[in-house]
Structure 1
Amino acid sequence: MYRYDEFDQAFVNARVAEFSDQVQRRLSGELTEDQFKPLRLMNGVYLQLHAYMLRVAIPYGTLSSRQLRMLAHIARKYDKGYGHFTTRQNIQYNWPALADMPACLADLASVEMHAIQTSGNCIRNVTADHFAGAAADEVADPRPYAEILRQWSSVHPEFSYLPRKFKIAVTGAERDRAAIQVHDIGLHLKKNEAGELGFAVYVGGGQGRTPMIAKKIKDFLPEEHLLSYTTAIMRVYNLHGRRDNKYKARIKILVHETGTAELSAQIEQEWLAIKDGELKLPQSDIQAIDRYFALPDLPARPEGDEAIKLARLDSRDFGTWVDQNVITHKHPDYACVTISLKGIGEAPGDASDAQMNLVADIAERYAFDEIRVSHEQNLILPHVARADLKAVYDRLVEGQLHTANAGLITDIIACPGLDYCALANARSIPVAQEISDRFADPVRQQEIGELKLKISGCINACGHHHVGHIGILGVEKKGTELYQITLGGSGDEVTSIGEIVGRGFAPEEITDAVETVVDTYLGLRLDKSEKFLDAYRRVGAAPFKEALYGSDAKAA
């Protein structure tokens, strides 16, 4: 795990002191809200529907137990006892008082954390595969490169005032768990035929009101050119990106309007002028960062299989949890554990201070002091001995964190929606809770199988509904909340944007509509092995429209 150096700590401490002064000037009335807005956004502070909100950066989703305990402390002392983990692998606090923000940031700085560049038209938190460094199918750990990008992009003077916010994601496996093709820049770490590391580079993905899938503009970029090529992309975007219309300011619009071939040529021309200059990464620098992310010393624990076998005999629920929330680690005696923050009927992504402390304790005892945040709003223990899985499960039961639903219909992604967000048109959390309650039966969930359901409360798509197998978008029509359904979206290595199937549903209708979609799938799948997304891609939208709208399906 990366540790702050002397410069990092001094910089963050100075930013806390600076913002403390700015907050005092706002509270005294010396600064108006309009004057204060750009200053607070530089420090991750938003003005939401009811209160200020603080968004804390968790670079590439990696946390230590000490850091997670601090997040629990902030939830308990400055908020209402909980935090909300986001699809950007960050955490948000919805209720801190403005007067307490400097103290929050000072507490974060004491454990090498901050809220810088979690808002504003800059390069946001670089995200990565939440199983990075542990997954058995990984070519290489993408987090060292995410850290290099973080260091390069932090308060970068050339890229601090971009046309619009900018998001980068990195993955190191063929199975894309970081949704790189719906990012402004997506980087797929891989090896060429000579065994050298490099990146396939994707540009121009995004969701929001104009969802687009990124275009691959380079099949293999050698790792030493990561910063120079990224700089070339940023310079072309900074020069030509729209600044007259925020709805057309993202790089995806530039790619669309300019054309992939022309934009690639411009990027290549800029890159050739700088590729062998000071931005070329020496191998020694890459190796120095890489050492921070070395796999822990994992002692052999060959008793794991027998321990799991015996524990299954003792607890059917434990067996279900292992099957659903545990994946293979690159070390045969270990596993990666998903801790679901989607308990039945709960607000997706929320964790109480007590739950955060519990996870920190478990990670310290059983997981080499490391926790990850996934873009699917769950927590991950990346290195758990298989022999310790039952002990970990038992501890999770204490905190009601043992829900065995990773990847199932109740593992819902949802934004805060109209309950908190000033931009939202409709509520997201109550819809997620009602759907979760409807499909609570674990046997039914297993029968349905893998199904990613995602909910956004407005067209900004913070709930990633465009890439949900079932997506739900809250809209407002004549003062009434309605919910549109999209089908067939996916954020993996075969990315697709979901299709709107017809008119929206009222709040009291949407859960029934989702059930109709699910029942239609169960009735048309070839067998139990055919997943929802595969079935949808085979048959298309027509049978689902017919089931939802009947004789009005063609008109819909």
Structure 2
Amino acid sequence: MYQYTEFDKQFVHARAAQFRDQLERNLAGKLGDDEFRPLRLQNGWYIQRHAPMLRVAVPYGEMSSKQLRQLARIARELDRGYAHFTTRQNVQFNWIPLVKSADAMDLLAEVNMHGIQTSGNCIRNITSDATVGVAEDEVIDARPYAEVLRQWSTLHPEFAFLPRKFKIAISGAKEDRAAIYWHDIGLQLVHNEAGEVGFTVIVGGGMGRTPITGTIINRFVPWQQILVYLEAIVRVYNRYGRRDNMYKARIKILVKAEGQKFFDQVNAEFKAILERDVDGAAHLIPQAEFDRVNASFTYPAGVQAHAAAGNGLPAEASEADRKQFGKWLERNVKGHKVQGYKNVHLSVKRVGQAPGDVTDTQMEAIADMADRFSFGELRVTHDQNALLPFVREEDLYAVWQAAKAATLASANIGLLSDMIACPGGDFCALANARSIPIANELIERYQDLDELYDIGEIDLHISGCINSCGHHHTGHIGILGVDKDGSEWYQITLGGSDGSSHAPTSVAGKVIGPSFSADEVSDVIEAVIETYRAQRESGEKFVDAVKRLGLEPFKLAANAVRRTTAKAAA
């Protein structure tokens, strides 16, 4: 993990002290709410439907057990005993009173954490693949580059007030598990023909009201020049992006409207910055600085390649244990870059708990498992789960036992019940409908693992509004909450993809007919799934069946639910 320098630590503590001063002046009536709003936003503080919401930055998803224990403490002492893992690898708290917000920032600073630029019209938290640095298919470790980007973008004076929020994702693996085509800027680490490291740069992606996948603007930018190229992109966006209409202010709208003209402006700006670099003013990355940052990302002491001596399953294990453990190995345990180790996913998706929510007790348990089995390191995943990145194969059975005791061992990673959902109308003031009741009803309906395994891999994503915090556009099945005459209704989309192995081409799902009432949604989803099960070919995944069959059979199944509901009501 990246190790904070004394400068880094002082910076975070100074920021926390600055926020406390701003808060105290606001509460005393010396700093108006309008003046305080942008200050609290750039420290991660929103005012939600019922209470303030704090978004804590977890750059590229990497966290220590000590940091997670501090988050558990904040949940226990300042919130209501739980936090929320987000799709952008952040952690959110929904019930901290504003008068205690500075206390939360001080506690975060104690463990080198903060909420800087997790909100506001600035460059947000840099995200990556949850298995960055340890993925079996990784070509180049993206972490040092992501950390350099984080440091470059933090409080960048030119980009503090962009036309709209701005998100960057980076991947160094063969499979895109960072959804790079769905970001304002996506970065793919590559080698050129000479073996040199650089980036393929993708620009103009985004979800929300107008879902658009990004376009490649440059197939190879040398790594030393990547900050300059990003500066050129964001500078052109800052200059020409819409500021008169927030719904048209994202860079995706500018790229779509201007096309090649936008690309030409960026490349001209890039060239001009390099040509003006007579005194070292251009933000080229020096080799020495990269080496300093990269040194923090060596594997923990003790991680050594070895031939594993089994997975720890005892000879006297019962048949039931063997079966459950086998399913968990199949779904929750993934390959590793280092021989003898595995990446272990801990599922927080269970009946009675909203997707992404994690209790203080569970956070403590994850931290304990990280210390026992993963050298004190863990990750927050894009799918709102946790991951242990350095588990010895010999310890897998012991990890499974510990995860079971903490209700974190559901063998459902990548299956229907491992759904993504935003907090929705239960918390968010922007939401048109609630997400959590729909998610909980579906999780309760699909508990049987044998049924889930028969259905196979399905990404189900739920958003409470068009802002798509639940990434409904990219779900193989997407559910979007909409307002209809003051009532909660839901649109269903099929065939979306974030670019991962389930469906390698990034694409937005398509709506299947008019919206459905809250009471109909679970039945509609079941009808869609049963249509797939009835018409699939041998070994065919759901998203592939949707492509082959088209939307019509699924529309007919969904509409049959509507007719049944209407008949029952009559």
TM-score scaled by structure 1? 0.97
Corresponding residue to 2:546 among 536, 544, 555: 536
Runs of 4 or more, structure 1, over 6 Å off, are none
The 2-side partners of 1:519 and 1:172 are apart by 37
| 1:511 aligns to 2:522 (yes or no) | yes
2:70 match: 70
Cα distance, 1:312 vs structure 2: 8.4
2:389 match: 382
Amino acid across the alignment from 1:414: A
Deviation string, structure 1 residues 331-359 (Cα, Å, up to 9, x no partner): 22110011111113420001111110111
Alignment of 1:162-177 (within 5 A): 162-177=162-177
1:283 match: 287
Aligned pair in 2 of structure 1 residues 40, 552: CA closer, same or farther (>3 Å)? closer
Amino acid across the alignment from 2:165: K
Amino acid across the alignment from 2:546: Y
Q: Contact between 1:86 and 1:377, CA under 8 Å: does it hold in 2?
A: yes
Corresponding residue to 1:319 among 300, 316, 326: 326
Q: Contact between 1:43 and 1:115, CA under 8 Å: does it hold in 2?
A: yes
1:201 match: 201
Alignment of 1:122-271 (within 5 A): 122-259=122-259, 261-271=260-270
- Name the SS for the 1:502 alignment partner: coil
Deviates more, 1:407-416 or 1:307-316: 307-316
The 2-side partners of 1:318 and 1:175 are apart by 27
Matched residue count: 551
Aligned pair in 2 of structure 1 residues 473, 398: CA closer, same or farther (>3 Å)? same
2:303 match: 298
Q: Contact between 2:311 and 2:396, CA under 8 Å: does it hold in 1?
A: no
The 2-side partners of 1:59 and 1:18 are apart by 22
Corresponding residue to 2:506 among 492, 495, 505: 495
Cα distance, 1:309 vs structure 2: 8.4
Amino acid across the alignment from 2:292: A
Q: Contact between 1:301 and 1:387, CA under 8 Å: does it hold in 2?
A: no
The 2-side partners of 1:317 and 1:112 are apart by 39
The 1-side partners of 2:432 and 2:76 are apart by 30
Aligned pair in 2 of structure 1 residues 37, 312: CA closer, same or farther (>3 Å)? farther
Q: Give me the CA root mean square deviation.
A: 1.6
The 1-side partners of 2:318 and 2:391 are apart by 17
2:568 match: none
Deviation string, structure 1 residues 14-57 (Cα, Å, up to 9, x no partner): 11111111111222223332232112112111100001111110
Cα distance, 1:290 vs structure 2: 1.4
2:5 match: 5
Cα distance, 1:287 vs structure 2: 2.1
- Name the SS for the 1:437 alignment partner: helix
Amino acid across the alignment from 2:376: D
Deviates more, 1:156-165 or 1:281-290: 281-290
1:85 match: 85
The 2-side partners of 1:552 and 1:378 are apart by 34
The 2-side partners of 1:8 and 1:179 are apart by 29
Aligned pair in 2 of structure 1 residues 550, 362: CA closer, same or farther (>3 Å)? closer
2:567 match: none
Q: Contact between 1:312 and 1:319, CA under 8 Å: does it hold in 2?
A: no
The 2-side partners of 1:18 and 1:131 are apart by 35
**Taking every aligned residue pair, what percent have the same amino acid on both sides?**
53
Deviates more, 1:11-20 or 1:370-379: 11-20
Alignment of 1:346-357 (within 5 A): 346-357=353-364
Deviates more, 1:536-545 or 1:352-361: 536-545
Q: Contact between 1:3 and 1:112, CA under 8 Å: does it hold in 2?
A: no
The 1-side partners of 2:354 and 2:232 are apart by 41
Deviation string, structure 1 residues 157-195 (Cα, Å, up to 9, x no partner): 000000000000001112110001000000011212222
- Name the SS for the 2:365 alignment partner: helix
| Unpaired runs of at least 5, structure 2 | 564-570
Cα distance, 1:306 vs structure 2: 5.7
Amino acid across the alignment from 2:94: N
| Unpaired runs of at least 5, structure 1 | none
Deviates more, 1:428-437 or 1:325-334: 325-334
Q: Contact between 1:435 and 1:511, CA under 8 Å: does it hold in 2?
A: yes
Deviation string, structure 1 residues 72-119 (Cα, Å, up to 9, x no partner): 010001000000011111011000111111111111111110111011
Q: Contact between 1:169 and 1:179, CA under 8 Å: does it hold in 2?
A: yes
- Name the SS for the 2:516 alignment partner: coil
| 1:433 aligns to 2:440 (yes or no) | yes
The 2-side partners of 1:344 and 1:197 are apart by 45
Cα distance, 1:552 vs structure 2: 9.8
The 2-side partners of 1:272 and 1:505 are apart by 52
TM-score scaled by structure 2? 0.94
Q: Contact between 2:520 and 2:562, CA under 8 Å: does it hold in 1?
A: no
